[in-house]
Structure 1
Amino acid sequence: MDLYDEMPQPLGFQTLAGNIGIKDTSDDFACVFSAEPCAVSAMFSQNLFAGPSIKLSRQHMRQGQPRAVVVVSKNANVATGSEGMVNAVELTKRLAAKLHCAPNDILVASTGIIGRPYPMNKIRGFVDKLKPESADCDFSAVARAIMTTDTIPKHVFARVGDATIVGIAKGVGMIEPNMATMLGFFFTDAALAQPVLDSIFRRIVDSTFNCLSIDTDTSTSDTAAIFANGLAGAVPEDEFEVVLHRMALALVKKIARDGEGATKLLEVSVKGAHDNAQARRVAKAIVNSPLVKTAVHGADPNWGRVAMAIGKCEQDTGIEPARVRIAFDGLEVYPLQLGTSDLRRLSALMLGEHVRIAVHLGCGGSEATVWGCDLSARYVSINADYST
């Protein structure tokens, strides 16, 4: 169940990646397709401004049997009106002709700037020159091609029995998923029935990608999907779920570490909650607090900001401050009264690249862990100049 940086690719999958020329000379097109039909589970953004890519992919999940996904990066194709849907449909039709499949066998994803139509002349010229029959299998290239403001490609590999799983993701900003993740895709040659795969994937997304936040903003383009073509045969379902969970969590941490302007991974664990929803709500309040995030960035031992973040969960009236415990990397800061030497120790702990905050609410037996990052001046700089 170990994770690897390099290992054999899942059987039956091929990849395409290249530069359409949407923004610069870096790759901005990626496609992964299977030679065989797949069991697929997919989850999408719940943002009310979700783009044509989301709407079309939802439709294809209902009507087809997807065995391919295409990603256009550096252009979200969101808030582009009826033209945006027409262009998304044309993209899938042109690519389907190349892949010798039906258009509704393709999921489409887009990521990048909002409010600008696809440069369709460039897309047509690029897709028409594709040669899928000579495609290789390079998931590293796909991980690079789906990047926008990411600084590193994000991919993981693992094995379960005779089967291989590969996972890729992108995302560093506009990240507080409500149903899925920024863009995250898994491909495996394991054989699992679609209902089983769907149940497993939804549980995993809920406990990993839905526990990730960079800046509290839910993207208009979030998509998470898994494709299983079964060419390696059946695998133990419980073992598959354990390994896939580890892979998803590894991608979550890669995304959090690479958050726009981030210098530290922030992990918040809440125990002793009334239920899981309360645990996650309190943990998100902490990890999303700009004051907590900036304190972590500057290694400022102002632990009171964590207490503040817990306290602003005003609807959780069962939380009593007298029962709450707060600790940073094992150092309890509340309800103890810290002296000068304790505060220096706390500051030293916060200088690390991975800062862990643990809270016990004293309300029950439920718990949740969420991940995020610190907030630096560079986040402001990146997003102040994003479209220019």
Structure 2
Amino acid sequence: MSLGSSSTPQGFSTFITNLGIKDTTDDFVLIKSDVSCAVDGVFTQSLFVGPSVTISRRNLKDNQAQGIVVISKNANVANGSVGIADAEEIIQLVANETGISPHNILIASTGVIGRRYPIKKIRTGLLGIGKKLTAADFNLAARGIMTTDTVPKLAARQIGNAKLVGIAKGVGMIEPNMATLLAFFFTDAAISANVLRSIFRPIVDKTFNCLSIDTDTSTSDTAIILANGLAGEVSEQEFARALQEIAHELVLKIAGDGEGATKIIEVTVDSALNYAQAKTVAKAIVNSPLVKTAIYGADPNWGRIAMAIGKCENELAINPENVVIRFDNIKAYPNILNEENLEELRQVMSKDKVNIHVSLNIGEAVATVWGCDLSEGYVEINGKYST
């Protein structure tokens, strides 16, 4: 989608450019609010985080922020004290140019690990940016944070007089253990930091934390929401519903743009003992390379779903005799599929979005997760990623 000015929350401005981080596409995004914002953020649980995560965690402690810097195509991870110094310098440069306190600037970075920023190019490129800020263009911002993404990812909603927009990037190294890749939300609704946190984190858990492309967790995963309050108060319930819709929309966009992906996979597990069990089983299915490749080839080998469920060896309450496996409305297990049934299943698995439904029949909990198929394209992209 393309976001028009009528859908843009008030009080935000942007500066997007190419600083020569890796290639000639935009690689630097600054999103600034006219006033300080209530803010919440969640980050990767990786033990190998970069300075962007460390610094943003620190700067979020007072629940206030006024700007976000995003650098794409270089993660600035595993660069030791030099990487930290470079990230701190970039924040200070932005602070000097915009008048924002360094402690109110957050930073995110994504791309190749173990490469230092071209800091001299960045210093030159940031001169005078305070005068180059323009009315917020979230379409360009969504494009500027891309790495191997093929399309920008953004979504927007209106809540009363307020607006909410979300942008995200991510197509690989996605098995979130907190939030996801990079995702940023901006609103002019007046929401306190405490309320923002109570709404944001459960939604992240049920959307971005239910997304998987390749079972690998990034060192730089960051999800942040800023509310500057300029449009006044809104219904908390309506705000939560709008945020849920945007997050879900972005998750589907990411799954559909997974590296080498040709299909979205949606797995729902119901009748589980609890949500954790339902999610464990669903993730085992969506993360299985054999399931992913079967869906890529539209191979009606439904037994791979049974195999994936069986790998959840700690879920001792699961009894295969109670389990029901469906693809759309086709019951694959328990059933004896004839050639006609298998051809119907092949047709279902040929769709752009493949829905797998598993009922454990031991409880009432439900979880839904999303992912994509696994094609030769994934190997091609990641076999040459750093070169």
- When the two structures are superposed, what TM-score results if normalisation uses the length of structure 2? 0.98
Count of residues paired in the alignment: 386
Deviations 1:129-167 (A, max 9, x none): 313464221000000000000000001111000000010
1:314 paired residue number: 313
1:270 paired residue number: 269
1:214 paired residue number: 213
C-alpha distance in 2 between matches for 1:12 and 1:318: 53
C-alpha distance in 1 between matches for 2:179 and 2:268: 21
1:180 paired residue number: 179
Where do 1:1-388 residues align within 5 Å?
5-6=3-4, 7-63=6-62, 65-132=64-131, 134-388=133-387
CA RMSD of aligned residues (A): 1.1
C-alpha distance in 1 between matches for 2:259 and 2:299: 21
C-alpha distance in 2 between matches for 1:133 and 1:342: 61
Contact kept, 8 Å, 2:12 with 2:33, in 1: the verdict is yes
Deviations 1:212-243 (A, max 9, x none): 00000000000000000000000000110011
Contact kept, 8 Å, 1:170 with 1:255, in 2: the verdict is yes
C-alpha distance in 2 between matches for 1:372 and 1:143: 21
Deviations 1:84-134 (A, max 9, x none): 001110000000111101111011000000001111001100111313464
The aligned amino acid for 2:11 is G
C-alpha distance in 2 between matches for 1:267 and 1:26: 32
Contact kept, 8 Å, 1:96 with 1:103, in 2: the verdict is yes
Secondary structure of 1:74 counterpart: strand
- 1:24 CA drift (Å): 1.0
- 1:8 CA drift (Å): 2.8
The aligned amino acid for 1:325 is V
C-alpha distance in 2 between matches for 1:302 and 1:196: 46
Deviations 1:279-330 (A, max 9, x none): 0000000000000000000000000000000000000010000000000011
- State the identity as a percent: 56
Where does structure 1 differ by over 6 angstroms across 4 or more consecutive aligned residues? none
C-alpha distance in 2 between matches for 1:377 and 1:281: 27
The aligned amino acid for 2:88 is V
Contact kept, 8 Å, 2:7 with 2:157, in 1: the verdict is no
Contact kept, 8 Å, 1:75 with 1:112, in 2: the verdict is yes
C-alpha distance in 1 between matches for 2:357 and 2:63: 45
Contact kept, 8 Å, 1:16 with 1:132, in 2: the verdict is no
Contact kept, 8 Å, 1:64 with 1:104, in 2: the verdict is no
Contact kept, 8 Å, 2:323 with 2:360, in 1: the verdict is yes
C-alpha distance in 2 between matches for 1:284 and 1:230: 37
The aligned amino acid for 2:191 is L
The aligned amino acid for 1:107 is L
- The 1:76–1:134 alpha-carbon spacing in structure 2 relative to 1, beyond 3 Å, is closer
The aligned amino acid for 2:228 is N
- When the two structures are superposed, what TM-score results if normalisation uses the length of structure 1? 0.98
Contact kept, 8 Å, 1:64 with 1:105, in 2: the verdict is no
